[in-house]
Homo-oligomer: A and B are copies of this chain.
Amino acid sequence: MAKHRAASIDGKLSEEFAVPSHVDDVTELMAAFAERHGAAGRRLVLITSGGTKVPLESRTVRFLDNFSSGRRGASSAEYFLDAGYAVIFLHRHRSLYPYARQYSGVNLLDSLQLGGSGGGDQVVVVNREALPKIDKVLKRYQDVKRDGLLLPVEFSTLSEYLHLLKASAQVLGTLGSKAMFYLAAAVSDFYIPASDMPEHKIQSSNGPLQISMKMVPKILSPLVKDWAPRAFVISFKLETDTSILLDKARKALDTYRHQAVVANVLDTRRGYVVVVTHDTQAELILTDEDVSKGVEIEDMIVSNLTRAHAQFISKQEG
């Protein structure tokens, strides 16, 4: 019966959500990436990051979006790389990116200055005060790139996200327990089926707007049951109402039978999360001292989960 439901979600995915044109190319890249790192005995994490765009018109002017800068996904990617993982970074176009996210508030041109003109062109150098630690960050970024440890994949719309997540799950399914899913993207719960969507921009002269949205199929269900049944799967739960948060996290674990939920509240998400598993509940709290030292909560989340992942692997192998 649960199996049956997962299969019907998969069917709905092909019928009601347009398949993005780059899905085959991306799948090939992900398969080569997974094979290479799997052969090297490396653990691999798929991180999803950023919000999804839900178009209201097929020639899209307006869309529904979810609040997310992609900060959590981008910073977590750095900590997973530090822990020796290979990372597929499935992120919203123009959301924050690992390493570069450390300078996301800076205008590029405010961080550069004209140097001496040696010959024809003037040398342009970085103003180090505008980009603290840039030499170390750049070095680390270049090392990660040189070693091919980070595979970026972009989505914009909800349809793109769903199809690319399915493709990546089927690829990572081949790695068994060595694969982790870290589903930090802020995915819409609602969408408008292509068949209900007007082609052209909705006219304001038609009067007030009524939008009817259907519920997005719960893709976690076929992911856990069919596509990557042996993988270590983490979902995220963001609420604004603290009182319902843990209840919702437990309910998600009971429903989808995956390994953990990272539960967080909008206002406090940068300093407090709870990692909920079937039989544990770990509060991770950033102290004022941590903040003053530049410690980020994603460091603590990733430490917690990579430890749990190692135990998960040895249990499955034992």
> Of A20-28, A177-185, A201-209, A273-281, which binds chain B?
A201-209
A266 vs B200: C-alpha distance when bound (angstroms): 10
Q: Is the CB of B66 within 8 A of A61?
A: yes
Chain B residue nearest in CB terms to A63: B65
Q: How many copies does the complex hold?
A: 2
A240: chain B residues at CB < 8 Å are 57, 59, 61, 199-201
Q: Does A10 contact B (CB under 8 A)?
A: no
Nearest Cβ on chain B to A296's Cβ, whole angstroms: 18
Assess the B139–A114 pair: CB atoms within 8 A: yes
Whether A204 touches B215, Cβ cut-off 8 Å, given contacts A60-B67, A124-B126, is yes
Determine if A107 is an interface residue (Cβ-Cβ < 8 Å): yes
Complex interface residues of chain A between 230 and 267 (CB less than 8 A to chain B): 238-241, 266-267
Are B125 and A109 in contact, with the CB atoms below 8 A?
Answer: no
- Cβ B190 vs Cβ A209 within 8 A: yes
Q: Give the distance in Å from the alpha carbon of A124 to the alpha carbon of B207 in the complex.
A: 56
- Asked whether any CB of chain B lies closer than 8 Å to the CB of A312, the reply is no
Closest B residue to A135 by beta carbon equals B122
**A39 at the B interface (CB under 8 A):** no
Which B residues are in CB contact (< 8 Å) with A113? 138
> Is A211 at the interface (CB under 8 A from chain B)?
yes
Chain A interface category by residue count: 35 or more
Q: Complex formed: what's the CA distance from A121 to B122 in Å?
A: 21
Residues in B whose Cβ lies below 8 Å from that of A57: 240
Are B126 and A126 interface neighbours, CB within 8 A? yes
**Bound-state Cα–Cα, A214 to B209, Å:** 7
- Mark out the residues of chain A between 207 and 229 whose CB falls within 8 Å of any chain B CB in the assembled complex: 207-216
Q: Is the CB of A125 within 8 A of B125?
A: yes
Q: A interface vs B, CB < 8 Å? A: 53, 56-57, 59-67, 97, 99-100, 103, 107-109, 111-115, 121-126, 128, 131, 134-135, 137-139, 141-142, 186, 188-190, 199-202, 204, 207-216, 238-241, 266-267
Chosen A-B contacts, 8 in total, with CB atoms closer than 8 Å, are A60-B67, A61-B186, A62-B64, A114-B135, A114-B138, A122-B135, A124-B134, A204-B215
